[in-house]
Structure 1
Amino acid sequence: MLSKNRIKYINSLKIKKYRQLHEAFLIEGAKSVLELFDSDFEIEFVLVTQEFQQKYSSILTRHNVAVETVTAQELEGLGSFQTNDSCLAVARTKENAFLSASPSEYILMLDDVRDPGNLGTIIRVADWYGITKVVCSRDTTDVYNPKVIAAAKGSFTRVNLYYTDLIRYFQEIRGGSQQVIGAFLGGDSLYEFAYPAHGGIIIMGNESNGISEEVGRFVTDKIMIPRFGAAESLNVGIATAVMLDNMRRQVPL
């Protein structure tokens, strides 16, 4: 049976200030936890049901992690999933380390993306299209938010995020040759845009306001996804997928 202190600790990690205090975060569900095992994240402990422990005993033994067996009811009472009948892990957060793009690499930049589900989807989309670096404004939602981790479906183990002041970031990489491609309403058509073969920075903006005026000053190419129907806008996660899909059609890995 789980101790009260452990329950209190796990529940505290649902709140950003306690994640920062303890430098730890939650991972729920079999898929994400199994991918966590094969990552470079440091795992504090894993709570598993008896069924999960039996099914993946060789993996648990190989990785030598601290494991505690719990009931499915205990798991459901701890995590944010409506149903979780397999496992929950606590891992250490990583240092917020500077990310720069090599001359032939594309990186993604997020300007004030607030919705956790959107950020998790963007991380998963970036992973699908081979983008391993995402630079985020300080107001972009916390990558270690349980809803972000859940939506990322394990891709958070392969995509690195760096939170910074975006204006300062551009000042720090001044002199770089990267084109800066921003998604704007009223920009040039995405379908007529030639992505540079040597890489660059792709910026996606806030769900309601788009890319801020201050960050927009650094954009060299403003492009838009043409609209053919009557919808007012696209979800930023979907828009990111469209942008990266068209990039990869022209610039394969």
Structure 2
Amino acid sequence: MLKSIQSVQNEKVKEWKKLLQKKGRDTANQYIMEGFHLVEEASQNPALITTVIVREDVAVPEWVPSSMEIYQVSTEVANAISDTETNQGIFAICKKEDHEVPKQAKSFLLLDAIQDPGNLGTIIRTADAAGVDAVILGDGTVDPYNPKVIRSAQGSHFHIPFIKGNLFNWVQQLKETGVSVYGTALEGAEPFHIVEPRHPFALILGNEGNGVNPNLLELANQNLYVPIYGKSESLNVTIAGGILLYHFMNMAHS
């Protein structure tokens, strides 16, 4: 049954608005996503969706299960719960997933304090596209359920497991199980294209300004960099990460 909400003072709306902030998401163990593509991706995992919300001038898509709790809201309410300047008028409230690293995982991406939401979302999407088995979010990394991360990942949240963890512990654990760990650095590193990656592998990407923690780099089996042939000082972490991941995954499939 379609329920209607017109006022931003409605208690439901107040609950939804809290999901725009990390504290609210942590308290409710839920998050909000918006846009037709993302909500359709979410609808393929119906156990994760608690609510679908549509603006009053937007038709409920056929792919939304009729058994789901659906709210029709005013433009004012839609704007209040949106994180974008011009929303598409459709939202979903989803439960956070308890991801686990697959037992047979052979490729890992470790993220050290990635702070920009757009970067994190793009990295998750790239890891998904490259076929990486798991993403480990280290301390200082932005909340993966931040609305900007959700939009940048474009549905990859539903395709690839990601978990929060201490990267020092993970590096030690991975090395003990025979996984080769590669850091990324501008100094004391080898150009990536002259290195033949060993498998299984883990790649560490670092903070946008400071790079990977030097103490983590010391634990890596080898540190790599992407050569700069033009005049730019450096590459964005998402671009460098994409180049390196595809290098590793291409070698794995060749």
Same fold (TM over 0.5): yes
Q: 1:102 — aligned with what?
A: 104
1:72–1:85 contact (8 Å) kept in structure 2: no
Residue 45 of structure 1 pairs with residue 51 of structure 2 = yes
Long gaps (5+) in structure 2: none
2:238 aligns with: 237
Gapped regions of structure 1 (runs ≥ 5): none
Q: Does 1:65 align with 2:68?
A: yes
**Mapping for residues 17-36 of structure 1, pairs under 5 Å:** 17-36=23-42
Equivalent pairs counted in the alignment come to 247
CA offsets per residue over residues 191-230 of structure 1, 9 Å max, x none? Answer: 111122x321011011111110221122101111000011
Give the alignment's TM-score, normalised by structure 2.
Answer: 0.89
Match of 1:143 in 2: 144
C-alpha distance in structure 2 between counterparts of 1:205 and 1:182, whole Å = 9
Q: Secondary structure at the match of 2:59?
A: helix
Q: Is the 8 A contact 2:175 2:181 kept in 1?
A: no
Q: Which amino acid aligns with 2:24?
A: Y
User: Are 2:201 and 1:200 aligned?
Assistant: yes
Matched, 1:79 2:82: yes
- Taking only aligned residues, the RMSD between alpha carbons, in angstroms, comes to 2.1
The match for 1:188 among 184, 187, 190 is: 190
Aligned to 1:155: 156
Residues 2 and 22 of structure 1: is their aligned pair in 2 closer, same or farther, counting only changes over 3 Å? Answer: farther
The answer to whether the 8 Å contact 1:75/1:85 transfers is no
Matched position secondary structure for 1:209: coil
Cα distance, 1:125 vs structure 2: 0.6
Verify the 8 A CA contact 1:76 1:85 in the aligned structure 2: no
Contact conserved, 1:41 with 1:94, CA < 8 A, in 2?
A: no
Q: Which position in structure 1 is the counterpart of 2:132?
A: 131
Q: Is this contact kept in 2: 1:107–1:133, CA < 8 A?
A: yes
Deviation at 1:172?
Answer: 3.8
- The residue that corresponds to 2:20 in the other structure is 14
SS at match of 1:167: helix
Amino acid in structure 1 at the alignment position of 2:233: E
Instruction: Sort the Cα spacing of 1:248 and 1:141 in 2 relative to 1 into closer, same or farther, 3 A.
Output: same
Question: Could you tell me how far apart the structure 2 residues matched to 1:61 and 1:144 are?
Answer: 23
CA distance change for structure 1 residues 170 and 9 in 2, over 3 Å: closer, same or farther?
same
2:94 corresponds to: 91
Q: Say if 2:13 and 2:77, in contact at 8 Å, map to a contact too.
A: no
Please give the per-residue CA displacement for 1:39-82, whole angstroms capped at 9, x wherever unaligned: 3651110101356535x22x1136x3211123455323321011
